[in-house]
């Protein structure tokens, strides 16, 4: 079958640097099954809708799959209409975070032929086989369908247990030079901090080495489910690293897993395998502060790690408990200091405006940043559909879900005030949280 996969653009006000790792993996699966597959990366090339129309006029497609985060809703809605106009016989499906988090809305407002819920590799493989053989799509696990005006769900798709069985993304289908020219990782911020010297990163690329998350932070959306964490083997991970170094000259690998450091055994195995193969590529990852042990950090630095991102989120124990972080400011402080002492740049992110935020919690966060010399602004607490934060605090107060989703940004935009502050006070305390009015926080509350 002829299959077109379209990656929706994200953060149009920023350079393209978020590769469609999952969609490119699905492309590999479908190509390996003998299908004629094209991946149109609208996030990388940033086409106008007229450009997409011309592209759709140029060929015939049996299946057209859209994918993207929930913030791509408006673009997918517009694109779906265009697909129906230009390719009326194509089977139209959407997958990824948007389809998985608000399937009923997509079926009601856009009218896809089906939605792929959760992991898509096996689901899309089976769907293509069924459509090619004129079978019954009701037999394909992991799909949402529309029947008699209602969204119905086939049996849920079980997560893939052996991630080594999943092929690498179809890197050759992606406009790699665009992403390599716009790295999400870089050395400028790290070098300016003084924690790293002699680091030169010019061609970075992301890898996902695990799926799921063992934790349940209430503001976080998990496409692969909660409490289910699966790892690729160290050998498999390094195989992909070698491919990127050999074929694309990559000199930095960014692991964008929720917590690459969750397994000390895997970290050690990866470090050893990298060294055994003589790779000099540098790398960075995300980790939780309660995973940052000095011995592990020293080993990671020895094996080329120069950047770790920690979601600190708040300097207030009260807010961290409300978030379900199961971490403390004291753990965060120790992790940041230990990471710096290991010679690794400790990047930090914070969230402002979580339910329960008060002037006291704002000042606690500001003091935490000041104590450690951290100068970063905070993201807004945003109740993305599919998160406990949405279910607990926002769902009952949202009259028009589509309108709310259309307003969503990337958490740098103000969407909804979840605190007891007035809107004026909300924005006022955001400037204090970000360190712009630090004189308003007394030394002791």
The per-residue pLDDT for range 105-153, each reduced to its tens digit, is 999 999 999 999 999 999 999 999 999 998 899 999 999 999 888 999 9
Whole-number percent of the chain with pLDDT over 90: 78
The reply to whether 138 and 196 lie within a common domain is: no
Q: Does the pLDDT at position 396 exceed 90?
A: no
Question: Please, where are the H alpha helices in 113-207?
Answer: 121-132, 176-180, 188-193
Which tokens is 300 given? 């990671």
26 inside domain: yes
177 inside domain: no
259 inside domain: yes
The reply to whether 244 and 359 lie within a common domain is: yes
| Final residue before a domain boundary, out of 112, 134, 153 | 153
Could you say which DSSP state residue 158 is in?
A: P
The reply to whether 260 and 307 lie within a common domain is: yes
pLDDT of residue 186: 54
170 inside domain: no
The reply to whether 149 and 268 lie within a common domain is: no
Q: What is the CATH number of the domain that holds 385?
A: 3.20.20.70
The reply to whether 327 and 224 lie within a common domain is: yes
The reply to whether 141 and 68 lie within a common domain is: yes
80 inside domain: yes
Give ∠ CA 285-287-292 in degrees, rounded to 5. 115
The reply to whether 273 and 400 lie within a common domain is: yes
The reply to whether 196 and 142 lie within a common domain is: no
The per-residue pLDDT for range 226-263, each reduced to its tens digit, is 657 899 999 999 999 999 999 999 999 999 998 999 99
User: Considering its fold, how many domains does the chain have in total?
Assistant: 2
- Residues 72-85 have a mean pLDDT of 95
The reply to whether 204 and 142 lie within a common domain is: no
- Residues 163-173 have a mean pLDDT of 97
Q: How far is CA 165 from CA 40, 85, 146, 362, in A?
A: 25, 38, 32, 46
The per-residue pLDDT for range 283-338, each reduced to its tens digit, is 999 999 999 999 999 999 999 999 999 999 999 999 999 999 999 999 999 999 99
CA 348 to chain centre: 16
The reply to whether 382 and 263 lie within a common domain is: yes
The reply to whether 285 and 336 lie within a common domain is: yes
Choose between 116 and 404: higher pLDDT. Answer: 116
283 inside domain: yes
Whole-number percent of the chain with pLDDT over 70: 95
Angle (deg, nearest 10), helices 294-302 and 329-341: 30
Q: What is the CATH number of the domain that holds 31?
A: 3.40.50.280
Exposure class string for 259-270: b at 16+ Cβ within 10 A, else e? bbbbbeebbebb
Using DSSP bridges, classify how beta strands 282-287 and 91-95 pair: parallel, antiparallel or unpaired. unpaired
198 inside domain: yes
- Domain span at residue 331 reads 183-440
pLDDT of residue 298: 98
419 inside domain: yes
- Residues 95-104 have a mean pLDDT of 94
3-state secondary structure of 105: helix
Q: Does the pLDDT at position 276 exceed 90?
A: yes
Mean predicted lDDT score pLDDT of the chain: 91
By C-alpha distance, which of 3, 82, 86 is closest to 37?
A: 3
The reply to whether 279 and 379 lie within a common domain is: yes
The per-residue pLDDT for range 18-52, each reduced to its tens digit, is 899 999 999 999 999 999 999 999 999 999 989 99
């Amino acid at each position: 079958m002829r299959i077109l996969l379209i990656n929706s653009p994200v953060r149009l006000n920023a350079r393209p640097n978020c590769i469609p790792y999952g969609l490119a993996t699905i492309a590999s699966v479908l190509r390996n099954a003998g299908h004629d597959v094209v991946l149109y990366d609208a996030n990388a090339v940033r086409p106008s809708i007229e450009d997409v129309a011309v592209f759709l006029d140029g060929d015939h497609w049996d299946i057209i799959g859209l994918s993207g985060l929930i913030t791509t809703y408006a673009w997918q809605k517009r694109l779906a209409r265009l697909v129906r106009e230009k390719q009326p016989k194509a089977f139209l499906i959407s997958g990824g975070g948007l389809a998985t988090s608000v399937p009923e809305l997509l079926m009601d407002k856009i009218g896809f032929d089906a939605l792929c819920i959760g992991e898509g590799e096996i689901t899309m493989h089976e769907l293509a086989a069924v459509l090619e053989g004129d079978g019954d799509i009701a037999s394909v696990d992991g799909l949402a369908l529309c029947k008699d005006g209602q969204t119905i769900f086939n049996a849920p798709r079980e997560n893939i247990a052996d991630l080594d069985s999943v092929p690498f993304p179809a890197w050759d289908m992606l406009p790699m030079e665009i992403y390599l020219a716009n790295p999400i990782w870089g050395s400028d911020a790290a070098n300016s901090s003084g924690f790293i010297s002699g680091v030169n990163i010019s061609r970075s690329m992301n890898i996902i080495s695990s799926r799921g998350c063992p934790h349940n932070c209430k503001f976080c959306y998990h496409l692969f489910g909660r409490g289910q964490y699966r790892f690729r083997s160290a050998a498999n991970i390094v195989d992909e690293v070698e491919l990127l170094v050999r074929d694309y000259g990559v000199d930095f690998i960014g692991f964008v897993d929720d917590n690459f450091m969750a397994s000390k055994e895997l970290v050690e195995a990866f470090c050893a395998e990298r060294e055994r193969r003589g790779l000099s590529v540098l790398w960075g990852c995300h980790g939780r502060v309660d995973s940052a042990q000095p011995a592990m950090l020293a080993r990671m630095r020895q094996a080329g790690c120069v950047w770790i991102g920690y979601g600190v989120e708040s300097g207030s124990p009260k807010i961290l408990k409300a978030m379900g972080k199961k971490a403390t400011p004291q753990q965060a402080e120790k992790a940041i200091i230990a990471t710096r002492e290991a010679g690794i740049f400790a990047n930090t992110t914070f969230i402002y405006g979580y339910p329960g935020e008060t002037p006291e919690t704002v000042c606690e966060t500001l003091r935490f940043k000041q104590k450690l010399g951290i100068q970063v602004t905070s993201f807004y607490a945003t109740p993305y559909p599919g998160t406990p934060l949405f279910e607990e605090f926002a769902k009952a107060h949202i009259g028009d879900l589509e309108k709310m989703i259309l307003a969503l940004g990337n958490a740098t935009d103000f969407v909804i005030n979840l605190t007891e502050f007035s809107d004026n006070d909300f924005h006022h305390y955001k400037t204090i949280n970000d360190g712009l009015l630090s004189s308003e926080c007394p030394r002791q509350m």
